[in-house]
């Protein structure tokens, strides 16, 4: 099946540091989304991107939809302990069924106070 | 706001047993889906539905059945559980129009098959 390559797999950072993670694919996507999952809970949507080149912020989070439509990145500035969790990229393929998302394998973020 | 509600939250089965994972949403969403989450594998789509009476297979449908008799409910059935079905299952829904891909997830159902 289609794959999203998400990196890094995990990150251990100091509080206050900036974080960057990305997803790439060999396929073209119509939509890129970034979700965060905390222990024992379902993923929660952070940012949705719908146009190539789109740059969107949500507080300390910034995400971009790559120009080629094959990649996206998420940046977190000035990390805090509550940023801990697993971050997933997800995309909807061009021509794919509406609503069906392909997920990356996640980036596990740990923040040391 | 209830959102997407899954039951049970935890379940232990023996190989060969059957069970149904329940999912209900109160947002009048047309689109509903089931994902499974395994360590290091991300979330993989099992089945989905774009509206009442319509279901289709996702990436990993084998061993699972679904039905969609109402807009609100989308149960996932395991007819004969296998250890390979040990996983965390998430139900998700979206409005299916405009906000494409913006899924709302339940809290998950953790299933262990012995």
- What does the pLDDT look like over B68-82, one tens digit per residue? 999 999 999 999 999
Q: Which residues of B touch A92 (CB under 8 A)?
A: 100-101
Beta carbons of B102 and A48 less than 8 Å apart: yes
Inter-residue contact A70 to A89 (CB < 8 Å): no
pLDDT at A98 exceeding the cut of 90:
no
| Strand blocks (E) in chain A | 5-7, 10-14, 19-24, 29-37, 44-49, 55-58, 61-65, 71-76, 85-93, 102-103, 107-112
In this structure, is the dihedral angle defined by the CA atoms of residues B85, B86, B88 and B89, taken in order, positive or negative?
A: positive
Does any CB of chain B come closer than 8 Å to the CB of residue A88?
yes
| Residue A18 reports pLDDT greater than 70 | yes
Q: Tell me, what's the pLDDT at B42?
A: 87
Mean pLDDT of B87-109: 84
What whole-number percentage of chain B has pLDDT above 90?
Answer: 82
Nearest CA distance, B39 vs chain A (angstrom): 9
Selected for mutation to probe chain B from A99, A100, A101, A107 (highest B CB count within 10 Å) is A99
Reported as a single tens digit per residue, the pLDDT across B33-43 is 999 999 888 89
Check CB contact under 8 Å for B90 and A90: no
Taking only the tens place, the pLDDT of each residue in B13-31 is: 999 999 999 999 999 999 9
Smallest CA-to-CA distance from B61 within B35, B96, B90, B41 is with B35
What average pLDDT does range A90-108 have in this prediction? Answer: 82
Instruction: List the single residue in B48, B96, B100 with the smallest CB-CB distance to A31.
Output: B100
Residue A95 is predicted with a pLDDT of: 65
Q: Are strands A55-58 and B31-38 parallel, antiparallel or unpaired?
A: unpaired
Interface contact flag, A42 B43, Cβ < 8 Å: no
- pLDDT tens string A29-38: 889 999 999 9
Looking at residue A83, what is its pLDDT? 96
Residue range A52-97, pLDDT digits in tens? 999 999 999 999 999 999 999 999 999 999 999 999 999 987 766 6
Which residue, chain included where needed, has tokens 């084998």? B62
């Amino acid at each position: 099946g289609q794959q999203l390559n998400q990196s890094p797999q995990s990150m251990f950072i100091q509080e206050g540091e900036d974080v960057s993670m990305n997803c790439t694919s060999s396929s073209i996507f119509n939509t890129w989304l970034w979700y965060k999952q905390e222990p024992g809970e379902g993923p929660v949507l952070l940012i949705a991107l719908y146009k190539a080149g789109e740059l969107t912020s949500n507080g300390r989070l910034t995400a971009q939809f790559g120009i080629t439509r094959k990649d996206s990145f998420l940046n977190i500035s000035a990390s805090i302990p509550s940023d801990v969790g697993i971050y997933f990229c997800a995309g909807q393929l061009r021509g794919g069924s509406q609503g069906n998302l392909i997920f990356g394998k996640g980036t596990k973020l740990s923040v040391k106070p | 706001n209830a959102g997407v509600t899954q039951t049970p939250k935890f379940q232990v089965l023996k190989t060969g047993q059957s069970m149904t994972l329940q999912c209900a949403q109160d947002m009048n969403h047309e689109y509903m889906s089931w994902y499974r989450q395994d360590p290091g594998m991300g979330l993989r789509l099992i089945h989905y539905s774009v509206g009442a009476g319509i279901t289709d297979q996702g990436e990993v449908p084998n061993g699972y059945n679904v039905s969609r008799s109402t807009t609100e409910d989308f149960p996932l059935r395991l007819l004969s559980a296998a250890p390979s079905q040990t996983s965390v299952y998430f139900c998700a829904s979206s409005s299916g129009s405009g906000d494409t891909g913006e899924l709302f997830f339940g809290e998950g159902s953790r299933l262990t098959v012995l």
